Every structure is written in C-alpha cells, then in structure tokens.
Structure 1
Amino acid sequence: MIKVLIVDDDFMVAKVHAGFIQRTPGFDVVGVAHTGAQAIAETGRLMPDLVLLDIHLPDINGLDLMQKLRTAAPELDVLVISAAREVDTVRKALRGGIVHYLIKPFSQTDLQERLEHYRNAYLSLASSKEVAEQSDVNRVFGMERTDRPLPKGCSVETLKLVEAALQEAAGDLSAAEVAVQLGTSRVSARRYLEYLYDEGALEVRLKYGAGRPERRYVLKGA
C-alpha cells in the first residue's frame, strides 16, 4: 500500500482530495497537513511514500518546502497539486524532482490517472530488479511505445485475454498453461507472451529441470 500525505491549506479541498485517493486502489491517505510546519512534522512522523503538495501555503512556498520534506524522508516522492499556472513555477517544480504537476481544479479521473501512472511506472523501479531496462525508464517518463504492431497472426482481442490470464494468476505461467486456458496452441501463446515481455510488461523466470529450462512469465510488480 502506498502511503500518501496531503498538504493543502484548504481543509475542504484536502478532504475532497483524500476521498479521490482513497478510491484509488493501492493508495492510503495516512495524514493531512495544512501548513508547511505541519507537513514537516507529519512527514517525519508518518514517513509517507508520496506527498500531494499544494504550492500556496500560509507559512512557506510549497516548492521551498520540498527539500525540507525530503530531509525528513529522503525517499519521498512529490506530486504537486496547485492552481499556480506560471511557467517559471512549473519549471522550478520540475527541477525539484516532482513526479507530476496537476493544475487545480481537476477531476477524480485526472488525479487517479496520475496516481496509477506513479504506481505502475515509478514503483516498478523499486522491485527486486537491480538493473533497469530502457522500457522501465520509458514508463517513468511517459514514453511507452504504444504503436508497435502485434506479431503477424496476432490480434488485440487475444492479447487482452493473455493479459487477463496473467493478472488473474496466483503466480507465474508458462506458455503451455496460457495455451490451455485460452484454447490456443503453445506456439501462439508464447508469441503473445514474448511480445509482452519485449514491451517491458512481463518478467521471465526460468524453471530448471530435465532438458532446457522452462520460461515462465509474470506481470512486473506482481
């Protein structure tokens, strides 16, 4: 569960944002702060993973607050939520190492999309994997390749079924196991699995036994 601290001087706005976050799977609001001083204290006490940070606070500019928060929690990530639209402000926020900048007002869907991107892209780098692939980095910077054609003879509909089988699996699956579930050939199932692996969506685990090791596939972060 990703622990979130909300920092906003408006009590009602903070409450609305908390409701948005609580309705996003994988996230939990652990605290709310309405001033910079409160934010520093709560960050040190709660050690959140992510702070939703407003820029206009009564006692300090939110961008100046970021470094103080990271002194209290060095691994902290920051998502700025603010009505500030000045280009210089956005640039300064980007240079400060934020994960996203969301301009108020925004909808629940707007916030959930950013949170889901953070969960799927950033946290994939915190897995047991020690070396990042280019596809891992591309996801962090929103550069996923979505126009790569499917292998010859493959369909989008079957690809979705393969992804669903992996999502519902309790662990990793082999091409033969996916083929049985979908009623396709092992060769066809492996073609889809290797496509997803090349796209950076899957990890491959080798199972050793008699003969060649078996390639088993699992969704990243699963």
Structure 2
Amino acid sequence: MIGVLVVDDDFRVARIHRSFVDRIPGFGVVGVAHSGASCLDQVRRHAPDLVLLDLYLPDMFGLDVAARLRADGHDCDVLVISAAKEADAIRGAVRSGVVNYLLKPFGFDDLRTRLEQYATQRTGLYATSVHDQADIDRALTCAPRAGNALPKGLSSETDQLVRTALSTAAGTLSAAECADQIGISRVSARRYLEHLHTTARADVTLRYSVPGRPERRYRWIGA
C-alpha cells in the first residue's frame, strides 16, 4: 500500500481529493493537512510515500514546503496539485524533482492515471537490481526506444518543461501558447511539440477559425 498525504488549504477540496485517492487500488490516505506547517508535521509522524501538495498554502508556498522536506531528509515523493499555471511555478516544480504536476480542477480519472503511472515507476525503482545503464533506464521508465531519442538540438530539460506544460493543460495548446508559458520561442516550442507528436505522446488537431494557415493544436495523450 502506498501511503498518501493530501495537502490542500481548502477543507472541501481536500476531502474530495482524499476520496479520490481512497478509490484507487494500492493507495491509501495516511493524513490530510491544510497548511505547510501541518504538512511538515504529518510527514514526520506518518512517513507517507507520496505527498499530494497544493502550492497555495496559507503559511508557505508549496515548493518551499517541498524544499524543507528534502532538507529535513524525508524521502517521500511529491506530486503537485495546483491551479498555478505560471511558467515559474511549473519550472520550479520540475527543478524540485516532483513526480508530476496536476492542474486544478481535475477529475478522478486524471488523478488515477497519474497515480498509476507513479506506482508503476516506484515499483520499478524498488524492484530493479542495477548492473548497468540499461537497468537504470528501465527503473526510470525511460529506457531507449526506437524513435524516442531527442533530435539533435533539443535538450532534455526543455523537453520536460514542454511535457509538463502540455500534460497539465486544461485542453489543447498551440506552439505560441506553450512558448509563452515556459519562456521559449514559438519555433522551439513547435519543435518539441512535434517531437512529442512523432513519438505518439501528443495528438494534433487543426483549428481553422483564424485566417491563413490552420493553427496546430496539441493535446497530451501519454507518458
């Protein structure tokens, strides 16, 4: 059983998220916190495997809470659940090593998908005996596959930012919207998004509502 601590300043939302987690096989809620201080205290007391962490807490910013958890030596993982769409928040979450970033409001299926992905990766990390790089790649669920390597000129850091922006979008994103969100050029964003489409991680639709060439809209379809 993977123990989960739900952290959200809104009591009603926290109850909903708790009910979602309790419906997912293999997961159980070990506590609910409504502030950063309460989160830190409950992590010390309950030692959860995963913290569902809101960013907008009454006493601390969520990423500061995550940093405190690391500084205090806790090895729990963090999955951000937030309404924050700002590029700085998404970049900060990625750099903090969060396992995922789920944009509010979300439904049960959205959370279930991400928790199941987390469980699969966590099982691989604990079960793998490491003998070489291939074992590490498999444990991190990023073993090289045909057509999956980044094209020349694309960086893994920016690729992760684009993936996070796309996977947390409420609907579809254009290259221009993605670029504005994470702070890169539209041309660069288009290259990363097209790579995700080529590797079957993003779907593309065309919008004909503007004059000239149709706008390409991207939607995340898989990790």
CA distance in 1, matches of 2:140, 2:14: 27
Q: Equivalences for 1:11-90 in 2 at 5 Å? A: 11-90=11-90
Give the deviation of 1:134 after TM superposition: 3.5
Is the alpha carbon distance of 1:70 and 1:123 closer, same or farther for their aligned partners in structure 2, counting shifts above 3 Å? Answer: farther
CA distance in 2, matches of 1:112, 1:20: 8
Q: Does 1:4 align with 2:4?
A: yes
Question: Can you list the C-alpha shifts for 1:64-92, whole angstroms capped at 9, x where unaligned?
Answer: 11021234452110000000000111000
Question: Can you list the C-alpha shifts for 1:169-218, whole angstroms capped at 9, x where unaligned?
Answer: xxxxxxxxxxxxxxxxxxxxxxxxxxxxxxxxxxxxxxxxxxxxxxxxxx
Is the alpha carbon distance of 1:123 and 1:14 closer, same or farther for their aligned partners in structure 2, counting shifts above 3 Å? Answer: same
Question: Can you list the C-alpha shifts for 1:45-80, whole angstroms capped at 9, x where unaligned?
Answer: 000000000000000000111021234452110000
Is the alpha carbon distance of 1:28 and 1:73 closer, same or farther for their aligned partners in structure 2, counting shifts above 3 Å? Answer: farther
Which residue is equivalent to 2:99? 99
Contact 1:40–1:72 (Cα < 8 Å) also in 2: no
What percent of counterpart residues are identical? 47
From the CA coordinates, give the structure whose radius of gyration is larger. Answer: 1
Which residue is equivalent to 1:130? 130
CA distance in 2, matches of 1:24, 1:119: 11
Q: Equivalences for 1:163-182 in 2 at 5 Å? A: none
Give the deviation of 1:137 after TM superposition: 2.9
Q: Equivalences for 1:157-168 in 2 at 5 Å? A: none
Give the deviation of 1:126 after TM superposition: 1.1
Matched position secondary structure for 2:97: coil
Matched position secondary structure for 1:85: coil
Which residue is equivalent to 1:112? 112
Matched position secondary structure for 1:24: coil
CA distance in 2, matches of 1:143, 1:130: 13
Contact 2:3–2:50 (Cα < 8 Å) also in 1: yes
Which residue is equivalent to 1:209? none
Partner amino acid, structure 1, of 2:125: L
TM-score normalised according to structure 2 size: 0.60
CA distance in 2, matches of 1:142, 1:57: 33
Structure 2 unaligned runs (5+)?
Answer: 149-223
CA distance in 1, matches of 2:7, 2:29: 11
Question: Can you list the C-alpha shifts for 1:86-123, whole angstroms capped at 9, x where unaligned?
Answer: 01110001000000000001110000000000000133
CA distance in 2, matches of 1:110, 1:73: 30
Q: RMSD over aligned Cα, in angstroms?
A: 2.4
Give the deviation of 1:17 after TM superposition: 0.6
Give the deviation of 1:141 after TM superposition: 5.5
Greater mean alpha carbon deviation, residues 18-27 or residues 49-58: 18-27
Which residue is equivalent to 2:166? none
Structure 1 unaligned runs (5+)?
Answer: 149-222
Is the alpha carbon distance of 1:70 and 1:85 closer, same or farther for their aligned partners in structure 2, counting shifts above 3 Å? Answer: same
TM-score normalised according to structure 1 size: 0.61
CA distance in 1, matches of 2:122, 2:49: 11
Is the alpha carbon distance of 1:4 and 1:73 closer, same or farther for their aligned partners in structure 2, counting shifts above 3 Å? Answer: farther
